């Protein structure tokens, strides 16, 4: 931004190299243990240049979170192709999500582990990304439900809850796939489809789950609503 005309491209390129290196180091070591020396060395630049361009360890970490949050959100949006059936959309979106998190496990660790472990400021950056993804998934579920039956049986709040459940399940499975040897992106996506689709699918077709007869005594109305 502040650099002169002839320097603009090299600076932008170098900044991306610094961010690449920072995501690697933050992802593997965590925020506290990550050293600016290691980041500079991995980026092939001097440490003062990292400070000149990105100001502080805090600002560098924030820049990593923002860049990776945008990349993940864009990967998911690009993965969901509007022409597909509802389960085709979900399947392609989930594969895009798990492929992205599997390809760059350091970036996923920055977003879903380290950014939430080092203070409210970083956590708020990730919360904003999560809200955007939940809103996107909410729209998809609402559209699929409308298509499935003209009479919109699914109240808005129920759709919002389903989107939260889906996003929470996907986050949890991405952590698990990253920590479990040999689980591929495709398997993680298929597990979530197995878990979720027939449930969502039945619901959209107007066949909600119904309470089993042996479910035991009611909880008090006040607590259970």
What lies within 8 Å, CB to CB, of 173 at 6+ separation is 98, 188, 191, 192
Q: Considering all CA atoms of the chain, what is the largest pairwise distance in Å, rounded to the nearest integer?
A: 75
The answer to whether 112 and 171 are in contact (CB under 8 A) is: yes
214 near a second copy, judged by CB under 8 A: yes
Subset of residues 82 to 101 that bind a second copy, contact rule: CB under 8 A: 83-85, 87-88, 91-92, 95, 99
Alpha-carbon distance of 94 to 88, in angstroms, equals: 10
Q: Which is nearer to a second copy, 18 or 154 (CB)?
A: 154
Three-state secondary-structure class, residue 131: helix
Q: Which is nearer to a second copy, 62 or 187 (CB)?
A: 187
User: Min. distance of Cβ 80 from a second copy in angstroms?
Assistant: 10
The answer to whether 58 and 120 are in contact (CB under 8 A) is: no
Structure tokens at 44: 């092939």
Half-sphere exposure of 71 (CA within 13 A, CB side): 18
Subset of residues 17 to 36 that bind a second copy, contact rule: CB under 8 A: 30, 32
Q: Which is nearer to a second copy, 1 or 215 (CB)?
A: 215
187 near a second copy, judged by CB under 8 A: yes
Count of residues near a second copy by CB under 8 A: 71
119 near a second copy, judged by CB under 8 A: yes
Give, as one character, the DSSP assignment of residue 3.
Answer: S
Subset of residues 146 to 175 that bind a second copy, contact rule: CB under 8 A: 157-158, 160-162, 164-173, 175
User: Min. distance of Cβ 60 from a second copy in angstroms?
Assistant: 19
Alpha-carbon distance of 133 to 72, in angstroms, equals: 9
One residue of 36, 42, 75, 190 binding a second copy per CB under 8 A: 190
Subset of residues 35 to 64 that bind a second copy, contact rule: CB under 8 A: none
The answer to whether 58 and 32 are in contact (CB under 8 A) is: no
User: Min. distance of Cβ 78 from a second copy in angstroms?
Assistant: 12
136 near a second copy, judged by CB under 8 A: no
User: Min. distance of Cβ 177 from a second copy in angstroms?
Assistant: 8
């Amino acid at each position: 931004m502040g650099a002169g005309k002839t320097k603009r491209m090299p600076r932008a390129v170098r900044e991306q190299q610094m961010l690449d290196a920072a995501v690697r180091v933050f992802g593997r070591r965590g925020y506290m243990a990550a050293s600016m020396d290691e980041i500079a060395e991995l980026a092939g630049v001097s440490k003062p240049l990292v400070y000149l361009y990105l100001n502080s360890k805090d600002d560098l970490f924030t820049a990593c979170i923002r860049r990776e949050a945008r990349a993940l959100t864009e990967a998911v949006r690009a993965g969901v192709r509007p022409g597909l059936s509802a389960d085709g959309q979900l399947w392609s979106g989930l594969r895009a999500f798990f492929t992205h998190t599997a390809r760059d496990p350091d970036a996923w660790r920055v977003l879903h582990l380290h950014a939430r472990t080092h203070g409210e400021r970083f956590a708020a950056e990730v919360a904003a990304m999560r809200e955007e993804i939940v809103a996107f998934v909410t729209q998809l579920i609402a559209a699929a439900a409308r298509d499935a039956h003209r009479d919109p049986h699914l109240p808005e709040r129920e759709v919002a809850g389903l989107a939260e459940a889906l996003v929470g399940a996907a986050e949890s499975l991405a952590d698990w796939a990253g920590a479990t040897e040999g689980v591929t992106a495709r398997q993680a996506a298929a597990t979530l489809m197995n878990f979720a689709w027939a449930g969502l699918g039945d619901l959209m077709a107007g066949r909600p789950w119904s309470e089993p007869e042996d479910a035991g005594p009611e909880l008090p109305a006040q607590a259970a609503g």
